[in-house]
């Protein structure tokens, strides 16, 4: 005979006498089983529903709403990309509009895209020798290099364009360069 949490809450008379304890256990065992299952569920609630590392894929879209993705989120994305985006949400939002945010989103989608300055410079990345006429160069023109299979209309191309539109500064001028050709 095991002592369950419900029996432990009963008066001592139901626990000290063997006959009373057996009756108490018979009367409380069903509710104890139910409450044990509920407690296990509640103990694991965060990992089952809230943590993108461990939750089921059907929860990604709901978590995305809670974490501010809103209209930027698509339920058609692969589960692996959704999980990565949710895990990196804080990093993406805090770096939205710079190269860190851009590369994080690109990496989550496992895309091959590289941001390069076209005629200007990238803040905190471009090395200056001190002889360049910085004010004569457009610092906001960039090229995103992608492989030849990223042709216009493909999922990969559309994801690169989505990332440019939503995770790079709006004042920049971006050109997607596909194996030597350029598409603005």
Q: What are the tens digits of pLDDT across the range 28-48?
A: 888 888 988 888 888 888 877
How much is the pLDDT for 1? 47
Q: Regarding predicted confidence, which is higher, 7 or 106? A: 106
Helices (H) and strands (E) in the chain, counts: 9, 4
CA dihedral of 32, 34, 36, 39, whole degrees rounded to 10: -130
Q: How high does pLDDT run on average in the chain? A: 85
| HEC-encoded secondary structure of 119-151 | CCCCCCCCCCCCCCCHHHCCCCEEEEEECCCCC
Section 166-176 average pLDDT:
88
9-13, 113-117, 152-156, 163-167 — which is least confidently predicted? 9-13
Section 114-135 average pLDDT:
67
Question: CB-based burial of residue 49 (10 Å sphere; 0-12 exposed, 13-18 middle, 19+ buried)?
Answer: middle
Q: pLDDT digit string (tens) for 5-23? A: 888 888 887 777 888 888 8
How much is the pLDDT for 132? 57
**Distance of alpha carbon 137 from alpha carbon 62, whole angstroms:** 44
Q: Is the pLDDT reported for residue 134 higher than 70?
A: no
How much is the pLDDT for 130? 64
**Distance of alpha carbon 85 from alpha carbon 66, whole angstroms:** 13
Grade residue 176 by pLDDT with cuts at 50, 70 and 90. very high
Q: Is the pLDDT reported for residue 164 higher than 90?
A: yes
How much is the pLDDT for 131? 63
* 155: three-class secondary structure by DSSP: helix
Percent of the chain with pLDDT over 90: 46
Please compute, for residue 53, the number of CA atoms within 13 A of its CA located in the half-sphere on the CB side. 3
Q: pLDDT digit string (tens) for 68-80? A: 999 999 999 999 9
């Amino acid at each position: 005979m095991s002592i369950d949490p419900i029996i432990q809450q009963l008066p001592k008379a139901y626990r000290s006498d063997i006959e009373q304890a057996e009756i108490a256990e018979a009367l409380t065992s069903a509710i104890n089983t139910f409450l044990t299952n509920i407690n296990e569920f509640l103990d694991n609630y965060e990992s089952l529903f809230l943590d993108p590392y461990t939750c089921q894929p059907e929860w990604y879209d709901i978590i995305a709403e809670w974490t501010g993705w809103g209209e930027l989120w698509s339920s058609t994305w692969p589960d692996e990309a959704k999980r990565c985006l949710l895990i990196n949400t804080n990093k993406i939002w805090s770096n939205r509009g710079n190269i860190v945010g851009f590369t994080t989103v690109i990496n989550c989608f496992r895309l091959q895209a590289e941001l390069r300055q076209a005629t200007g410079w990238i803040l905190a990345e471009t090395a200056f020798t001190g002889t360049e006429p910085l004010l004569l160069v457009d610092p906001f023109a960039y090229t995103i290099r992608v492989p030849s299979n990223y042709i216009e209309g493909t999922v990969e191309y559309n994801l690169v364009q989505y990332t440019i539109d939503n995770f790079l500064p709006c004042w920049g001028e971006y050109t997607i360069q596909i194996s030597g050709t350029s598409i603005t």
